[in-house]
Amino acid sequence: MIFRKAMIVFLIAITFFSFTQCKAVEKKESIKDKQNIIMPQEKGISKLNTDKSMQLVINKEQKEGDPAFYFNYKVFNTKTREVIKKGTFRGMNIDWHGNTSIKLIPYVGMEQKPNSENPEEVLSSDTLTQIQIIKLNH
């Protein structure tokens, strides 16, 4: 009789502790997921051009459900700290293209069939899948 009561109390205690442990694990995982979604990259990435006369500062974010990155970029003169160029861009990367220009690499999603059968017209069309090069005047 005493063995039976002890066994019932033991089983109830094990069941109680197993349920409380499962809830604690779920709460920890949901907190981590929320932090990863909310936290954008706070510090900017800084890149100097080859002669170190200009500095490119990039803040990069990725929104949930969108595979492309959102960039806020600024180009500074390193001596005067004057802003030469600033802007926003949706794509894959921003980098230097020589000493006086930056290269914006777009996000290329699914390829689509061209509207025209004429290859010259397709090649001459201005599409969003081409790399953009921005020349800087400093």
Top pLDDT among 34 and 3 is at 3
Binned at pLDDT 50, 70 and 90, residue 123 comes out as: low
Assessment of whether the complete model's pTM goes beyond 0.85: no
Q: How far is CA 122 from CA 62, 93, 113, 132, in A?
A: 31, 25, 10, 18
Mapped onto helix, strand or coil, the DSSP state of residue 17 is helix
Task: Provide the mean pLDDT of the chain.
Answer: 77
* pLDDT(108) > 90: no
* pLDDT(122) > 60: no
Mapped onto helix, strand or coil, the DSSP state of residue 134 is strand
Beta strand residue intervals within the chain, DSSP E: 45-48, 54-61, 69-77, 83-91, 93-96, 101-105, 132-135
pLDDT tens across 12-23, in order?
Answer: 988 877 777 765
User: Residue 23 region, left (φ>0) first, then alpha (ψ -120 to 50), else beta?
Assistant: alpha
